[in-house]
Structure 1
Amino acid sequence: MHTSLSDFDMPNEEQVHLAAEAFRLLSDPTRIKILWALLQGESNVACLAELADAAPTAVSQHLAKLRLAGLVKGRREGTFVYYSAADEHVRRLLAEGLFHADHLDRAGHADEVGPAEAQPDEPLAERAAAHTR
């Protein structure tokens, strides 16, 4: 039990700010689709737009924001830019988020089911786990 402030190990303000910014960027469904696709390999805007069912200009704007936040990186080849997820941290973060969403979906309501009571949907859980390796 924590009885005083010194009992807590808290992140510093910069860490809190950067984490909040990453989560804010991941709060958009189109960005989640884009990142999930990029976890499977490099891709260009046209392909990502089709996968995310979004306009190429919108995907370009999403990618620019994700790139500035360090969540994706781009590689130019001629006139094309190929994007990829920045690193394994992004993979784990997104996989955990999707695993959590699957857990909540299977549980029905998060506040009605304890963590040990619901089992994740196998296909999504397996895909998320595979992408964390």
Structure 2
Amino acid sequence: MDIPLVLPPDHDSQRISSVEKTLLSSEKLNRMAQIFKLFGDPSRLKIINALKNNELCVHEITALMGMSQPAVSQQLRQLKQVRVVASRREGKRIYYYLNDEHIIQLFEICRIHLEEEGR
């Protein structure tokens, strides 16, 4: 149920209309929230960091993360569900990689923000 909008008499309806046209759909915002939620976990950020320039198998990720193989697999599964990570099979091994350059850009923007924050 929508809550009726109560605006003061001197509001700028053109500005509201203009901004309203630029708003993303609830579906897109929900999908974005899923991605940002995944970025909110340090273990997943470590995996994203490791995969930033390399494709790695689960055993290599396990060694780098200092985590159990089931824990790494669970994190990878969550990252795959929102298409942050993809995989390819080579013989018996499955190699994981970042699915999209935008994920690297998001990671780098956050890293740069932290560096600027420290100045």
Class of the TM-score when normalised by the shorter of the 2 chains: 0.7 to 0.9
Q: Where in structure 2 are the equivalents of 1:13-52 lying within 5 Å?
A: 13-52=26-65
CA gap 1:53/1:3 in 2 versus in 1, 3 angstroms? farther
Q: CA separation in 1, counterparts of 2:65 and 2:98?
A: 15
Give aligned-pair identity as a percent. Answer: 33
Out of 7, 12, 18, the position equivalent to 1:7 is 18
Superposed displacement of residue 102, structure 1: 3.0
Paired letter, 2:56? S
Select which of 76, 79, 83 maps to 2:89. 76
Pair 1:62 & 2:41 matched = no
Q: Distance in 2 between matches of 1:98 and 1:70?
A: 21
The more displaced of 8-17 and 68-77 is 8-17
RMSD between superposed Cα atoms in Å? 1.6
In 2, distance between residues paired with 1:58 and 1:75? 20
Task: Give the aligned partner of residue 131 of structure 1.
Answer: none
Shift of 1:103: 3.0
Aligned partners of 2:63, 2:84: CA distance in 1, in Å? 20
Aligned equivalents of 2:12, 2:108: Cα separation in 1: 35
Q: Any gaps of 5 or more consecutive residues in structure 2?
A: 1-10
**Secondary structure of the corresponding residue to residue 83 of structure 2:** coil
Structure 2 counterpart of 1:64, which letter? R
Question: 1:7: how far off?
Answer: 3.1
Residue 98 (structure 1) aligned with residue 111 (structure 2): yes
How many residues in Structure 1 have an aligned counterpart in Structure 2? 105
Q: Could you tell me the TM-score, scaled by structure 2's length?
A: 0.81
Larger radius of gyration: 2
Unaligned segments of structure 1, at least 5 residues? 107-117, 119-133
